Amino acid sequence: MPHDHPSHEGISPSGHPYRNDNDTPLSYWQTMEIAMRELLIEKGVTTAEEIALQIDAMDARSPANGAAVVARAWTDPAFKARLLDDASAASREMGFDIGPLRLIAVENTETVHNVIVCTLCSCYPRNLLGLPPDWYKSRAYRSRTVRAPRKVLREFGLDLPDDVTVRVHDSTADMRYIVLPQRPAGTDSLSEAALAQLVTRDSMIGTGLPRAPA
Amino acid sequence: MMAERVRVRTMMPPGHVRTPAYLRGKTGTVERALGRFGNPEELAYGRATDTRELYRVRFTMSEIWGKDAERSTDTVDAEIFAHWLDRLED
Protein backbone atom coordinates (compact mmCIF):
# COMPACT_ATOMS: atom_id res chain seq x y z
CA MET A 1 0.00 0.00 0.00
CA PRO A 2 1.51 3.36 -0.99
CA HIS A 3 2.24 5.99 1.65
CA ASP A 4 0.55 9.39 1.47
CA HIS A 5 3.83 11.08 2.29
CA PRO A 6 7.34 10.37 1.13
CA SER A 7 9.19 8.04 3.48
CA HIS A 8 11.81 9.60 5.74
CA GLU A 9 13.62 6.32 6.05
CA GLY A 10 16.97 5.71 4.42
CA ILE A 11 18.65 8.14 2.08
CA SER A 12 17.35 11.49 0.76
CA PRO A 13 17.20 12.15 -3.01
CA SER A 14 20.37 14.23 -2.62
CA GLY A 15 22.15 11.29 -1.03
CA HIS A 16 22.44 11.93 2.69
CA PRO A 17 20.69 10.02 5.49
CA TYR A 18 17.55 11.45 7.04
CA ARG A 19 17.80 12.33 10.69
CA ASN A 20 14.83 11.71 12.94
CA ASP A 21 13.03 14.75 14.28
CA ASN A 22 13.69 15.27 17.98
CA ASP A 23 10.11 14.52 19.01
CA THR A 24 11.14 12.92 22.30
CA PRO A 25 9.96 14.32 25.65
CA LEU A 26 12.26 16.60 27.61
CA SER A 27 14.56 14.86 30.06
CA TYR A 28 14.36 15.61 33.77
CA TRP A 29 17.39 17.90 33.57
CA GLN A 30 16.18 19.72 30.45
CA THR A 31 12.90 20.45 32.25
CA MET A 32 14.82 21.55 35.35
CA GLU A 33 17.04 23.90 33.28
CA ILE A 34 14.03 25.56 31.63
CA ALA A 35 12.20 25.93 34.95
CA MET A 36 15.27 27.41 36.66
CA ARG A 37 15.97 29.81 33.78
CA GLU A 38 12.35 31.02 33.65
CA LEU A 39 12.21 31.52 37.42
CA LEU A 40 15.48 33.50 37.44
CA ILE A 41 14.11 35.75 34.70
CA GLU A 42 10.68 36.14 36.35
CA LYS A 43 12.26 37.10 39.65
CA GLY A 44 14.57 39.63 38.00
CA VAL A 45 17.79 37.83 38.96
CA THR A 46 18.86 37.75 35.32
CA THR A 47 17.38 38.58 31.92
CA ALA A 48 16.98 36.71 28.65
CA GLU A 49 19.40 39.23 27.12
CA GLU A 50 22.07 38.46 29.72
CA ILE A 51 21.71 34.74 29.09
CA ALA A 52 21.97 35.23 25.32
CA LEU A 53 25.08 37.38 25.81
CA GLN A 54 26.73 34.68 27.93
CA ILE A 55 25.96 32.06 25.28
CA ASP A 56 27.45 34.36 22.63
CA ALA A 57 30.55 34.91 24.81
CA MET A 58 31.00 31.16 25.24
CA ASP A 59 30.57 30.53 21.51
CA ALA A 60 33.10 33.28 20.73
CA ARG A 61 35.84 31.52 22.68
CA SER A 62 37.86 29.33 20.38
CA PRO A 63 41.17 27.49 20.21
CA ALA A 64 42.57 30.67 18.58
CA ASN A 65 42.82 32.11 22.11
CA GLY A 66 44.99 29.24 23.31
CA ALA A 67 46.99 29.35 20.08
CA ALA A 68 47.86 33.00 20.71
CA VAL A 69 49.11 32.10 24.19
CA VAL A 70 51.23 29.24 22.80
CA ALA A 71 52.72 31.42 20.05
CA ARG A 72 53.62 34.08 22.62
CA ALA A 73 55.36 31.43 24.75
CA TRP A 74 57.33 30.28 21.69
CA THR A 75 58.60 33.78 20.96
CA ASP A 76 59.01 35.29 24.43
CA PRO A 77 61.05 33.24 26.94
CA ALA A 78 60.06 35.46 29.86
CA PHE A 79 56.37 35.00 29.02
CA LYS A 80 56.90 31.24 28.72
CA ALA A 81 58.42 31.18 32.21
CA ARG A 82 55.40 33.09 33.57
CA LEU A 83 53.01 30.74 31.71
CA LEU A 84 54.59 27.63 33.22
CA ASP A 85 54.60 29.30 36.64
CA ASP A 86 50.96 30.50 36.55
CA ALA A 87 49.05 29.94 33.31
CA SER A 88 45.95 31.78 34.56
CA ALA A 89 47.89 34.98 35.23
CA ALA A 90 49.82 34.71 31.96
CA SER A 91 46.58 34.28 29.97
CA ARG A 92 44.99 37.27 31.70
CA GLU A 93 48.11 39.26 30.92
CA MET A 94 47.30 38.69 27.22
CA GLY A 95 43.79 40.04 27.79
CA PHE A 96 41.87 36.77 27.79
CA ASP A 97 38.86 36.71 30.09
CA ILE A 98 39.40 33.37 31.73
CA GLY A 99 37.19 34.03 34.74
CA PRO A 100 38.02 31.98 37.82
CA LEU A 101 39.76 29.33 35.72
CA ARG A 102 42.82 27.79 37.43
CA LEU A 103 45.02 26.89 34.53
CA ILE A 104 48.21 24.81 34.47
CA ALA A 105 50.37 24.70 31.32
CA VAL A 106 52.36 21.50 30.78
CA GLU A 107 55.30 21.64 28.41
CA ASN A 108 56.13 19.10 25.74
CA THR A 109 59.87 18.50 25.23
CA GLU A 110 62.09 16.12 23.29
CA THR A 111 61.52 13.54 26.02
CA VAL A 112 58.04 14.30 27.42
CA HIS A 113 54.64 14.32 25.74
CA ASN A 114 51.61 15.54 27.73
CA VAL A 115 47.96 14.71 27.11
CA ILE A 116 44.86 16.00 28.91
CA VAL A 117 41.76 14.05 29.91
CA CYS A 118 38.96 14.27 32.44
CA THR A 119 38.04 10.73 33.44
CA LEU A 120 35.25 11.80 35.80
CA CYS A 121 33.32 14.15 33.50
CA SER A 122 34.47 16.61 30.83
CA CYS A 123 36.59 19.32 32.52
CA TYR A 124 38.20 21.39 29.78
CA PRO A 125 39.82 24.87 29.66
CA ARG A 126 36.73 26.34 27.96
CA ASN A 127 37.60 29.94 28.75
CA LEU A 128 40.79 29.57 26.71
CA LEU A 129 39.95 26.88 24.11
CA GLY A 130 36.17 27.20 23.72
CA LEU A 131 33.83 24.22 23.84
CA PRO A 132 35.45 20.77 23.93
CA PRO A 133 35.22 18.43 20.94
CA ASP A 134 32.53 15.75 21.33
CA TRP A 135 35.11 12.95 21.52
CA TYR A 136 36.72 14.59 24.56
CA LYS A 137 33.49 13.89 26.46
CA SER A 138 33.12 10.31 25.20
CA ARG A 139 33.46 7.39 27.58
CA ALA A 140 35.98 5.79 25.21
CA TYR A 141 38.40 8.76 25.30
CA ARG A 142 37.94 9.30 29.04
CA SER A 143 38.52 5.68 30.03
CA ARG A 144 41.15 4.66 27.49
CA THR A 145 43.47 7.67 27.75
CA VAL A 146 44.60 6.75 31.26
CA ARG A 147 44.71 3.03 30.43
CA ALA A 148 46.50 2.98 27.06
CA PRO A 149 47.44 6.54 26.06
CA ARG A 150 49.91 5.48 23.37
CA LYS A 151 47.26 3.43 21.61
CA VAL A 152 44.78 6.31 21.82
CA LEU A 153 47.39 8.74 20.47
CA ARG A 154 48.20 6.37 17.59
CA GLU A 155 44.51 6.45 16.66
CA PHE A 156 44.87 10.24 16.47
CA GLY A 157 47.84 9.71 14.12
CA LEU A 158 50.50 10.39 16.74
CA ASP A 159 53.01 7.54 17.07
CA LEU A 160 55.38 8.44 19.90
CA PRO A 161 58.85 6.89 20.08
CA ASP A 162 59.78 4.76 23.10
CA ASP A 163 62.25 7.33 24.43
CA VAL A 164 59.42 9.84 24.94
CA THR A 165 57.61 9.61 28.28
CA VAL A 166 53.84 10.08 28.12
CA ARG A 167 52.36 12.10 30.95
CA VAL A 168 48.57 11.92 31.19
CA HIS A 169 46.89 14.69 33.20
CA ASP A 170 43.52 13.73 34.67
CA SER A 171 41.57 16.93 35.49
CA THR A 172 39.98 15.54 38.62
CA ALA A 173 39.39 18.68 40.68
CA ASP A 174 39.87 22.45 40.42
CA MET A 175 42.67 22.73 37.83
CA ARG A 176 42.34 22.88 34.06
CA TYR A 177 45.20 22.08 31.71
CA ILE A 178 46.67 23.23 28.43
CA VAL A 179 49.57 21.56 26.66
CA LEU A 180 52.39 23.83 25.52
CA PRO A 181 53.45 21.94 22.39
CA GLN A 182 56.97 22.06 20.98
CA ARG A 183 57.62 24.75 18.42
CA PRO A 184 57.89 23.07 14.99
CA ALA A 185 61.26 23.06 13.25
CA GLY A 186 61.79 25.49 10.41
CA THR A 187 59.76 28.30 11.96
CA ASP A 188 62.56 30.67 13.00
CA SER A 189 61.51 33.35 10.54
CA LEU A 190 57.78 33.25 11.36
CA SER A 191 55.99 36.04 13.19
CA GLU A 192 54.04 35.38 16.38
CA ALA A 193 50.77 35.67 14.41
CA ALA A 194 51.99 33.20 11.79
CA LEU A 195 53.12 30.79 14.50
CA ALA A 196 49.68 30.93 16.12
CA GLN A 197 48.21 29.63 12.84
CA LEU A 198 50.22 26.42 13.32
CA VAL A 199 48.78 25.71 16.77
CA THR A 200 45.85 23.31 16.53
CA ARG A 201 43.24 22.61 19.19
CA ASP A 202 44.41 18.99 19.43
CA SER A 203 48.03 20.07 19.94
CA MET A 204 46.87 21.93 23.07
CA ILE A 205 44.96 18.85 24.33
CA GLY A 206 47.96 16.68 23.51
CA THR A 207 46.23 14.43 20.97
CA GLY A 208 48.10 16.11 18.12
CA LEU A 209 51.11 18.20 17.19
CA PRO A 210 51.25 21.70 15.71
CA ARG A 211 51.10 21.95 11.93
CA ALA A 212 54.37 22.04 10.01
CA PRO A 213 55.01 25.41 8.32
CA ALA A 214 53.87 25.64 4.70
CA MET B 1 54.10 19.37 55.41
CA MET B 2 52.94 16.54 53.17
CA ALA B 3 55.43 13.73 52.62
CA GLU B 4 56.52 13.26 49.08
CA ARG B 5 55.22 9.68 48.81
CA VAL B 6 51.51 9.21 49.39
CA ARG B 7 48.90 6.47 49.06
CA VAL B 8 45.32 7.16 48.02
CA ARG B 9 42.79 5.87 50.54
CA THR B 10 40.62 2.95 49.49
CA MET B 11 37.38 4.19 51.00
CA MET B 12 34.28 4.10 48.79
CA PRO B 13 31.93 6.76 50.17
CA PRO B 14 28.70 7.50 48.29
CA GLY B 15 28.07 10.92 46.78
CA HIS B 16 30.01 13.39 44.66
CA VAL B 17 33.61 12.24 45.00
CA ARG B 18 36.43 13.60 42.82
CA THR B 19 38.96 10.85 43.57
CA PRO B 20 38.85 8.41 40.63
CA ALA B 21 38.28 4.78 41.61
CA TYR B 22 41.18 3.61 39.43
CA LEU B 23 43.64 5.49 41.68
CA ARG B 24 42.33 4.30 45.06
CA GLY B 25 44.92 2.29 46.95
CA LYS B 26 47.68 3.44 44.58
CA THR B 27 50.94 5.03 45.65
CA GLY B 28 52.33 8.14 44.01
CA THR B 29 54.51 11.17 44.59
CA VAL B 30 53.34 14.72 45.18
CA GLU B 31 54.08 16.68 42.01
CA ARG B 32 53.02 19.99 43.55
CA ALA B 33 50.79 21.43 46.25
CA LEU B 34 47.97 23.51 44.78
CA GLY B 35 46.65 25.32 47.84
CA ARG B 36 43.29 25.06 49.57
CA PHE B 37 40.01 24.49 47.75
CA GLY B 38 36.41 23.86 48.78
CA ASN B 39 35.63 20.21 49.43
CA PRO B 40 33.58 18.99 46.43
CA GLU B 41 32.01 16.26 48.57
CA GLU B 42 30.23 19.04 50.49
CA LEU B 43 29.96 21.74 47.83
CA ALA B 44 28.01 19.42 45.52
CA TYR B 45 25.14 19.40 48.03
CA GLY B 46 25.13 23.14 48.64
CA ARG B 47 26.68 22.77 52.08
CA ALA B 48 29.10 25.35 53.39
CA THR B 49 32.50 23.78 53.49
CA ASP B 50 35.90 24.29 54.95
CA THR B 51 38.73 24.24 52.45
CA ARG B 52 41.07 21.31 52.02
CA GLU B 53 44.62 21.07 50.71
CA LEU B 54 44.70 19.87 47.12
CA TYR B 55 47.72 18.10 45.61
CA ARG B 56 48.78 16.98 42.18
CA VAL B 57 49.94 13.41 42.64
CA ARG B 58 51.95 11.54 39.99
CA PHE B 59 51.45 7.79 39.54
CA THR B 60 53.41 5.49 37.25
CA MET B 61 51.47 3.35 34.80
CA SER B 62 53.03 0.24 36.36
CA GLU B 63 51.71 1.29 39.79
CA ILE B 64 48.19 1.73 38.40
CA TRP B 65 47.95 -1.15 35.93
CA GLY B 66 50.71 -3.56 37.01
CA LYS B 67 52.03 -5.87 34.32
CA ASP B 68 49.25 -4.76 31.97
CA ALA B 69 50.72 -1.25 31.77
CA GLU B 70 51.31 -0.10 28.21
CA ARG B 71 54.66 1.40 29.25
CA SER B 72 55.64 1.18 32.91
CA THR B 73 57.30 4.59 33.27
CA ASP B 74 54.58 6.67 31.62
CA THR B 75 52.58 8.55 34.23
CA VAL B 76 49.15 9.83 35.25
CA ASP B 77 48.96 13.06 37.26
CA ALA B 78 45.71 13.69 39.12
CA GLU B 79 44.46 16.23 41.67
CA ILE B 80 43.70 14.55 44.99
CA PHE B 81 42.46 16.21 48.20
CA ALA B 82 44.50 15.77 51.39
CA HIS B 83 41.76 13.82 53.17
CA TRP B 84 42.18 11.10 50.52
CA LEU B 85 45.94 10.75 51.02
CA ASP B 86 48.06 8.90 53.56
CA ARG B 87 51.67 9.89 53.92
CA LEU B 88 54.12 7.00 53.51
CA GLU B 89 57.20 6.68 55.68
CA ASP B 90 60.45 6.13 53.82
**In chain A, which among 165-194 make CB contacts under 8 A with chain B?**
165-175
A118 exposed, middle or buried (CB, 10 Å; 0-12, 13-18, 19+)?
Answer: buried
A31/A47 Cα distance (integer angstroms): 19
How far A60 CA lies from chain B's nearest CA (Å)? 29
What is the structure's pLDDT at A207?
A: 98
Q: What is the pLDDT of residues B11-21, one digit of tens each?
A: 999 999 999 99
User: Does B5 reside within a domain?
Assistant: no
* Residue A200: domain span: 62-205
A96/A197 Cα distance (integer angstroms): 18
A165-170 and A112-117: which strand pairing?
A: parallel
A70/A45 same-domain check: no
User: Does A74 reside within a domain?
Assistant: yes
What is the structure's pLDDT at A19?
A: 81
Closest partner CB to B37 (pick from A168, A170, A174)? A174
User: Does B47 reside within a domain?
Assistant: yes
**Tally of domains in chain A:** 2
User: Does A6 reside within a domain?
Assistant: no
A82/A136 same-domain check: yes
Q: What is the pLDDT of residues B39-89, one digit of tens each?
A: 999 999 988 878 999 999 999 999 999 999 999 999 999 999 999 999 998
User: Does B9 reside within a domain?
Assistant: no
User: Does B61 reside within a domain?
Assistant: yes
Give the 3-state secondary structure of residue B87.
strand
- pLDDT classification of B90: cutoffs 50, 70, 90: low
How far A155 CA lies from chain B's nearest CA (Å)? 15
User: Does B11 reside within a domain?
Assistant: no
Chain A contact for B11 (CB, 8 A cutoff): no
A165/A192 same-domain check: yes
CATH code of residue A171: 3.90.330.10
End of a domain among A41, A59, A77? Answer: A59
**Tally of domains in chain B:** 1
End of a domain among A59, A77, A103? Answer: A59
What ipTM score was computed for the predicted complex, to two decimals? 0.95
A91/A148 same-domain check: yes
What is the structure's pLDDT at A3?
A: 52
CATH code of residue B60: 2.30.30.50
* Residue B67: domain span: 27-87
Residues of chain A short of pLDDT 50, as ranges, are 1
A142/A94 same-domain check: yes
Cβ <8 Å between A166 and B75: yes
What is the structure's pLDDT at A6?
A: 56
DSSP letter at A11?
A: B
Cβ <8 Å between A173 and B80: yes
User: Does B38 reside within a domain?
Assistant: yes
